[in-house]
Structure 1
Amino acid sequence: MATASQWIEGARPRTLPAAISPVVAGTGAAAFADSVVWWRAVLCLVLALLLQIGVNFANDYSDGIRGTDDERVGPLRLVGSRVATAGSVKAAAFGCFAVGAAAGLVLAAATGWWLLLIGAAAIAAAWFYTGGSTPYGYRALGEVSVFVFFGLVAVIGTTYVQVEEVTWPSVAAAVGLGALICAILVANNLRDIPTDRESDKRTLAVVMGDRGTRMLFVALQVVALAVIGWLVAATPWTLLALVALAPGVRASLPVVRGATGMALIPTLRDTGLTALAYGIGLGIGLALG
């Protein structure tokens, strides 16, 4: 039986900035429109965190039963390391999805029932990333899904349930954060290129190769910086997001210097911190504006 600390590690807490930062930025965009509804923002955060943890457990389960994680280079995987049963990890994933869905149901009841369709699509995307007979994460589509659901849907959705309209600052923030959260996955898949090739997991990193993946990682950082320039048109306070520059540079250095394997673990941590600092900077900047 896995210990409590192993379950926490299996939940991959270093990925949680990908859930927190879009809600902060989206709420900042709602404040920019003078329409913050705090209880809805809190429910958005609960939903985002549970979906993130749920997808982490779902990936652990699906990759574990396929044997993809048998030769793991990165942090602990519960099923692949045999510290937890596949059934218990699958149950944890669906438990997170169920509680997250309850939060989404309340938001849909308060805003519009059509939001249930987006919620259902998000849960389906979380499961079928590595689950099912033809997981799209094995078909080089993981980054597309991350950009859509952790960028566009998470940020614009957080703003929408409070403002009840789509605002251009929320769209801009969604693009910038979507790029940075994609960069987390890109760094993860860059590290795993050798083992993913052996297990026939065809990620975008496997398709693009080592050099192309490193170039993509840097390009995503540049996109996020460019979005700050775009949002200055709304308010110069969004320059606060430049606080993400330091961890962003620190994350990029191992990538451009050719680090591999475990040497890329700090890049994952620092890219998550970059996304968190960026989201907080944009959120505060838009609120002040």
Structure 2
Amino acid sequence: MVEYQEIKGDKGWRIWWQLTRPHTLTAAFVPVFLGTVLALSYTELHWGLFSAMLVASLLIQAATNMFNEYFDYVRGLDSKESVGIGGAIVRNGVKPKTVLYLGFSFFAIALLLGIYICMLTSWWLAGIGLVSMAAGYFYTGGPVPIAYTPFGEVTAGFFMGMLIIIISFFIQTLTVEPIAWIVSFPIGLLVGAILLANNIRDLDGDKENGRKTIAILLGRKRAVYFLATLFIVSYAWVIGLIVTGYISFFALITFFSIPKAIQATKGFIGKTRPIEMMPAMQATAKTNTFFGFLLGIGILLQFFILS
């Protein structure tokens, strides 16, 4: 039984911050940054649109985490011993409905920012944005949550990886060039890898609760191999982009993130307890962050030096 209490003071600030699961927010920042950087070769930067897109993406990611916290609690999946959760409800006594309403409040602010973006670009984005928000809600909400199926990684990779890059590119240029789709692919893989790492960590508990994630279907050992494959394909994709001339050799700085990918893969090998796998999951999230940020820096160097 969780005892609900009033949260305030310095402790309260930390509780609300942890509820957003800050280590996941880079999955929203990196695609916006990368899509905007790609657009610089076609137009001047509109800071207002960039800022609105960035904040909206962060809010949607944070809200998705809150819905995850709420619905996992309602379904009895979270406890004080659960690893990798914000813990606002089961550890800190925040009322479940408060977490749910806060998630919807974040969605509302993101919606207002979306209206601003549409006013300056295209109202077609309104439909795309609503579908993206629905995907965030139904990831753990609804009668058949996406997170309980083998499609969680694909959904996250597309909506929180590829689509954000493409939208960030579009709102700056009012067009979608092939480069935006092509460069977004490895980011989609790495965002999906974050969810895969999470599901590898939670494999035993998820299996007991009837989930059918990719990690469960493959088994722990093969799931780790699959994670390593996602890393390998992502770096190979960068080489392919350089060889085919889509991006310059400056993008090779992306390879400085390889140690994190190796750390993530090795961190899962031979581990079965969730707490033991937390460093590997964190390394997976950092791989996405470093990879995307360094790729963006490489494209910026290309823009300023070779243009």
Task: Return the TM-score normalized by structure 2.
Answer: 0.89
Please state whether the residue corresponding to 1:68 is helix, strand or coil. coil
> Which one has more relative contact order, counting CA pairs under 8 Å at least 6 apart?
1
Q: Which runs of 5+ in 1 are unaligned?
A: none
Does 2:282 align with 1:269? Answer: yes
Equivalent of 2:191 in 171, 181, 192: 181
Q: Which runs of 5+ in 2 are unaligned?
A: 303-307
5 Å-filtered alignment, 1:1-289, equals: 1=5, 2=7, 3-70=12-79, 72-81=82-91, 83-232=93-242, 233=245, 234-258=247-271, 260-289=273-302
Q: Which deviates more, 14-23 or 201-210?
A: 201-210
Q: Which deviates more, 183-192 or 202-211?
A: 202-211
8 Å contact 1:59–1:130 — kept in the other structure?
A: yes
The AA in structure 2 aligned to 1:46 is V
Question: Following the alignment from structure 2 to structure 1, what is the Cα–Cα distance between the partners of residues 46 and 163?
Answer: 18
* CA distances 1:12-50 after superposition (whole Å, capped 9, x unpaired): 001011011111111111123344322211111111100
8 Å contact 1:173–1:282 — kept in the other structure?
A: no
* CA distances 1:83-111 after superposition (whole Å, capped 9, x unpaired): 21110000111011111111111111111
Q: Which deviates more, 257-266 or 274-283?
A: 257-266
Distance 1:19 1:101, change over 3 A: same
8 Å contact 1:32–1:286 — kept in the other structure?
A: no
* Identity across matched positions, percent: 30
Distance 1:133 1:81, change over 3 A: farther
**Pairwise CA distance, 1:172:** 2.3
Question: Following the alignment from structure 1 to structure 2, what is the Cα–Cα distance between the partners of residues 177 and 256?
Answer: 24
**Pairwise CA distance, 1:184:** 0.9
**Pairwise CA distance, 1:257:** 4.5
8 Å contact 1:32–1:288 — kept in the other structure?
A: no
Distance 1:257 1:28, change over 3 A: farther
Question: Following the alignment from structure 1 to structure 2, what is the Cα–Cα distance between the partners of residues 97 and 80?
Answer: 23
The AA in structure 2 aligned to 1:276 is T
**Pairwise CA distance, 1:82:** 6.0
Question: Following the alignment from structure 1 to structure 2, what is the Cα–Cα distance between the partners of residues 173 and 59?
Answer: 29
**Pairwise CA distance, 1:254:** 0.9
Question: Following the alignment from structure 2 to structure 1, what is the Cα–Cα distance between the partners of residues 92 and 144?
Answer: 24
Question: Following the alignment from structure 2 to structure 1, what is the Cα–Cα distance between the partners of residues 18 and 45?
Answer: 34
Question: Following the alignment from structure 1 to structure 2, what is the Cα–Cα distance between the partners of residues 86 and 156?
Answer: 35
Question: Following the alignment from structure 1 to structure 2, what is the Cα–Cα distance between the partners of residues 147 and 111?
Answer: 25
Pair member with larger Rg: 2
8 Å contact 1:60–1:80 — kept in the other structure?
A: no
Please state whether the residue corresponding to 2:40 is helix, strand or coil. helix
Question: Following the alignment from structure 1 to structure 2, what is the Cα–Cα distance between the partners of residues 165 and 259?
Answer: 47
8 Å contact 1:36–1:163 — kept in the other structure?
A: no
Question: Following the alignment from structure 2 to structure 1, what is the Cα–Cα distance between the partners of residues 124 and 17?
Answer: 34
CA RMSD of superposed structures (Å): 1.6
* CA distances 1:38-78 after superposition (whole Å, capped 9, x unpaired): 22111111111001100000100011100011352334422
The AA in structure 1 aligned to 2:62 is I
Question: Following the alignment from structure 1 to structure 2, what is the Cα–Cα distance between the partners of residues 205 and 50?
Answer: 28
Task: Return the TM-score normalized by structure 1.
Answer: 0.94
Q: Which deviates more, 272-281 or 74-83?
A: 74-83
Question: Following the alignment from structure 2 to structure 1, what is the Cα–Cα distance between the partners of residues 191 and 272?
Answer: 20
Question: Following the alignment from structure 2 to structure 1, what is the Cα–Cα distance between the partners of residues 93 and 228?
Answer: 36
